[in-house]
Structure 1
Amino acid sequence: MMTAYDKEAEATGWYGPEVAFGLAYAHVQPGQSMLDIGIGTGLGSVLFRKAGLNVHGFDISPTMLEACRSKGFTALQQHDLCKRPYPYDSGSMDHAVCTGVFNFFSDLSPVFQETGRIIRDGGLFVFVVGDRLENEAHAIEVEVENAKSERTVTMYRHSARQIAALMARYGFEPLRELAFTVYRDRERTTSMPARSYLARNRSGSGPAIYPPVPVP
């Protein structure tokens, strides 16, 4: 079942899930568990499931979760990413993926902290962010017509230095990364840079609570 969200992603050329899978596929094995953080309609996990991984996911939206179920995903929970702890035991997942979510969060510290707690030591975390240079704005306003909303939406971009600081603080070892382009309209006339990162968890059972990583 292709949802309206899926159709919009296809029309605008959203390749985040393919890029994330491409970075991670050589390092994962069939039968391993993958936690999709903010699973949405399941776009970020479809390829991992086809590769034989056992996908678990959570999202705040019951509508999105129902779309996931219609695609055959079953290990789903409704939960707000802003609320910690996430509903998974420490070290209970082999890997984690997050695509199409970080652009809604100014501070990614809580997600990195919880991901480091949930995935096993040596597990992988592959994720996508809106990319920016150090001298570019952290927050941008997306126009009504491109946000598919009744009002302007604020989106957040995260620089390479921000991501490096988060990985260092929460015990992740960077492995690979790849830059690509995201379009904000069906005509593909308005674009923004994005970047996918692959990191290995070296935090053991998870770090203590730290203050947020400041925005440069």
Structure 2
Amino acid sequence: MNSKKINRQIDAIINEFKENKFPVFCVTGKMAAGKNFISSFFESKNFLCIDFDKEVHFLIEEKNDEILKTFEKNAEETGLVIKTQEGKVDKRALGVLLFSYPELLEKQEKILYPALSEKIKEVIKQTKAKGNFRGIILNATVLYKIPSLLNKCDLVIFVEASWIKRFNRARKRGGLRELEILQRFTAQKNLLDKYKDFGCTITTVKN
């Protein structure tokens, strides 16, 4: 879908919620589907866009010592080093570990998601009160794992792209080897079903 068609679809979504003075939309989709690209359209229309990947990275830095204490032994057992020479979490190495062992990923989510939920709820509250923005976009792949935030969303916008297009985009970004990309693709294969199971109102945008 080209940019003009996407823009028209987004305008239609916004118009559908014009009676809502401050809509909150979740923009989600599988890895490299184009969530940031779609979010940028909303941003140009005066929506505040919150990138959950960036927020998680900030929280990892804040909880650096707790994360190292929790996962360093697991990493050593698998031959990974998740602590840099500066004593900080190596986020790439940590990602490799967590996406290889779902039970460890779940453990990290229990560390990060409660704090993330409280932070974002406060941002939503303050932004709505100030009235500087038309609404909020929560740009998040797995928001279904944080029901307290997903419940605040008026609509889930699921961004779709073909497997090969997503794979090529992910490979061009660098930072992950092909096997690591495939691991993350596999972990997200039933992503849309997770949102359907939650009972969300969902619309799709092809990118």
TM class by smaller structure: 0.3 to 0.5
Q: Which structure would you say has the larger Rg?
A: 2
* TM-score with structure 1 setting the length: 0.39
Hey, which of these two has a bigger chunk of helix by percent?
Answer: 2
RCO comparison, higher one (Cα < 8 Å, 6+): 2
